[in-house]
Amino acid sequence: MTPSTKKNPIDLLFAVLTAVSSLSIILLIAGILVVLVFESSLAIHKFGVFKFIFTIDWDPVRKIFGAASTLYGTMVTTVLSMLIAIPVAVGIAVFITEIAPDFLKGPIGVTIELLAAIPSIIYGMWGLFTLAPIMANYIEPALQATLGKLPLFSILFKGTPMGIDLLTASVILSIMIIPFTASISRDAFNLTPEVVKESAYALGATKWEVVKNVVIPYSKLGVFGGCVLSMGRAIGETMAVAFVLGNNHQITSSLLNAAATITVSLANEFTEADSDIYLSSLFYLALVLFVLSFITLFIAKLFLIRAERKYSR
């Protein structure tokens, strides 16, 4: 029985009120897009789309702006942080679902998720005061002495270890996205039907073989969606990286060099841009970031929905 809203005027009013509230989401997204396009129109007009994206220069004196260096910084930190985070996160999910005793499953899961509750500014500050010196004094010299000696890797570890660089930023980012990937992977693992697992055990499979050959293949859509969602998070993270990236617009092969991401440029330069084209270019960067993260998050959502449909069948 579906009630009719037309009978009662108050009912209609309430329905309209709720409808408007929920449409506010669409309005917001459209509004952000329109405002960002409007504010960056000066820069779009001057630099175009492809030229802006592929221009490395970010030169406020000569008023030439391009997104390539910040896009590069965003991409490197995102990819590197995912390389570090995903194995750990999937390992955590395996531990929680398959290894931990039952009474520990909940508490450990919640504890890991608390990592996501810590504000990003705390990560940033901790990164600057605690992690950066550790990276500079121990980890980075050690990497230089080992991996840095290998022919292919040497270009990744050139320069003086300072702790304020792409590597430190990526490590911090990885810690921040571990909980997202871990909890989505855990949920996906948990949806593997017991029957399927039991039959694999019955065939004499070890616990790891069940995870490797049954659980992970069965839940790969969900795990993959979780990874892409984390990627969306990493792309947009601001404060945690603002402290430890060094804010330098350059494309550098060494992970021990300072760089800039789109978010860091915005945080550092937004209130400070002195010319109109400078501010407009920053809005343009924000627009690029918005489109980039929107698409990434949309893809993640598609995977997660498909995964959900598959399991609920």
Partner 1 sequence: MTHETKRKIEGFVALFLSTLAAFIGLFWLIFILGDVLINGIGALHLNFFLNDPTPAGVAGGGLRNAFVGQLMITAFATLIGVPIGVLGGTFLAEYARGKKLSQIISILSDIMVSVPSIIVGTFIYALMIKPFGHFSGWAGATALAIIMIPVVLRTTEDMLSLVPWTLREAAFALGAPYYKVIIQVVYRGAATGIFTGILLSIARVAGETAPLLFTSFNNNFFSMNMNGPMPSLTVSIFQYAMGPYDDWHAQAWAASLVITLFILLITIGGRLILKWRYKL
Partner 2 sequence: MKTVFKIGLVLAFVLAGVSAQATDTLNGAGASFPYPVYSAWAYNYHKATGIQLNYQSIGSGGGIRQITNRTVEFGASDAPQTPEFLKKNNLLQFPAVMGGVVLVVNIKGVKAGQMHLDADAVCKIFLGEITYWDDAKIKSMNPELTLPHKMITVVHRSDGSGTTAIFTTYLSQACSAWNDKVGHGTSVKWPVGIGGKGNEGVANYVRRSGNSIGYVEFAYAKQNKLAYTLLKNPSGHFVAPNFKTFEDAAATGDFEPGKDFYLWLVNAKGENAWPIAGATFILLAKEKKEADMKTVKFYDWAFKHGDKKAKELVYIPLPESLKNKIRAYWKDHGIY
Task: Enumerate residues 89-128 that contact partner 2 by CB under 8 A.
Answer: 128
Q: Which of 164, 235, 258, 259 binds partner 1 (CB under 8 A)?
A: 235
Over its C-alpha atoms, the chain yields an Rg (Å, rounded) of 23
Q: 211: how many CB neighbours lie within 10 A of its CB?
A: 22
Q: Tell me if 24 contacts partner 1 by CB under 8 A.
A: yes
Q: Which is nearer to partner 2, 210 or 259 (CB)?
A: 259
Token reading at 280: 């407009």
Binding segment for partner 1 (CB under 8 A), chosen from 21-29, 51-59, 191-199, 251-259, is 21-29
Pull the structure tokens for residue 291: 């489109």
Given partner 2, partner 1, none, residue 160, with its beta carbon under 5 to 8 Å by kind, binds partner 2
Nearer CB in complex with partner 2: 215/244: 244
Query: Do 178 and 88 touch, CB atoms closer than 8 A?
Result: yes
Q: Which is nearer to partner 1, 234 or 256 (CB)?
A: 234
Q: Are 215 and 98 in contact (CB under 8 A)?
A: yes
* C-alpha span between 59 and 57 (Å, rounded): 6
Q: Which does 61 bind (CB under 5 to 8 A by kind): partner 1, partner 2, none?
A: partner 2
- CA distance linking residue 31 with residue 107, whole number of Å: 41
Separation between Cα atoms, residue 19 and residue 245, nearest integer Å: 43
Contact between 238 and partner 2 (CB under 8 A)? no
**Residue 132 within binding range of partner 2, rule CB under 8 A:** yes
**Amino acid at position 144, single letter:** Q
Is 59 a binding residue for partner 2 by CB under 8 A? The answer is: yes
Please report whether residue 21 would count as binding partner 2 according to CB under 8 A: no
Those residues with Cβ within 8 angstroms of residue 241's Cβ, 6 or more apart along the chain or in another chain: 77, 124, 169, 172, 173, 261, 263, 264
- Contact between residue 112 and residue 178 where contact means Cβ atoms under 8 Å apart: yes
112 makes contact with partner 1 (CB under 8 A): yes
Q: How far, in whole angstroms, is CA 256 from its chain's centroid? A: 21
> In whole angstroms, what is the distance from residue 102 CA to residue 188 CA?
18
Closest distance of CB 33 from partner 2, Å: 23
Q: What are phi and psi of 254, to 5 degrees?
A: -85, 135
Among 162, 191, 205, 299, interactor with partner 2 by CB under 8 A: 162
Please choose, out of 93-101, 159-167, 187-195, 213-221, the segment that lies near partner 1 by the rule CB under 8 A. 93-101
The correct pick among 272, 298, 309, 310 for binding partner 2 (CB under 8 A) is 272
| Cβ distance to partner 1 smaller for residue 155 or 302 | 302
**What letter would DSSP give residue 59?**
E
From the CB of 159, what's the least distance to partner 1, in Å? 23
Q: Are 230 and 82 in contact (CB under 8 A)?
A: yes
Three-state SS string over 194-213 comes to HHHHHHHHHCCCCHHHHHHH
Residue number, 20 or 142, with CB nearest to partner 1:
20
Q: Does 136 bind partner 1 (CB under 8 A)?
A: no
Binding part of the chain for partner 1, among 49-57, 98-106, 156-164, 248-256 by CB under 8 A, reads: 98-106
Binding site for partner 2 (CB under 8 A): 57-62, 128, 132-133, 136, 159-160, 162-164, 246-249, 258, 260, 268-269, 271-274, 279
